[in-house]
Structure 1
């Protein structure tokens, strides 16, 4: 049988632990507060950070080009 969509990739979250400077922690807390005022839904900074990182990486054209080249080299066995 042939389906229009391919089998979904593994979507199991990977837990990362990191430390941030106090100023960044404060900025993330402020962002979460502004998010709550804007959307009327409270979210913890640790819930927002993955979306922030995805958005940042998706908007970084240099990263996307370099990543594509990296994977092209890896698939050629370099």
Structure 2
């Protein structure tokens, strides 16, 4: 086998997730999409913004990161 710098790419198959949100959250998400458009001049659907919003939220949650590292250690 040839030794190359780039390792095997991880699974990038999207997983579809259907959720229901309360009307006030939907309005907030719609407002976010409007402000996003006003800021960047780029229309993005709420469904396209939400995964990035969730990723940013999880990345900024230090308590979650610490607890998740503990879970990973227990899986080994």
TM range (shorter): over 0.9
Which residue does 1:54 correspond to in 2? Answer: 55
Alpha-carbon distance in 2 for matches of 1:39, 1:26:
20
Alpha-carbon distance in 1 for matches of 2:6, 2:64:
27
Aligned pairs (5 A) from 1:12-23: 12-23=13-24
Is there any run of 5+ residues in structure 2 with no aligned partner, and where? none
Runs of 4 or more off by more than 4 Å in structure 1? none
Alpha-carbon distance in 2 for matches of 1:67, 1:57:
11
- Per-residue CA distance 1:4-35 (angstroms, 9 max, x = gap): 11100110000000000000000000000000
Aligned pairs (5 A) from 1:1-78: 1-75=2-76
Q: What TM-score comes out, normalization by structure 2 length?
A: 0.96
Q: Cα RMSD (Å) of the superposition?
A: 0.5
Q: What TM-score comes out, normalization by structure 1 length?
A: 0.93
How many residue pairs were aligned?
Answer: 75
Alpha-carbon distance in 2 for matches of 1:48, 1:73:
33
Alpha-carbon distance in 2 for matches of 1:61, 1:20:
25
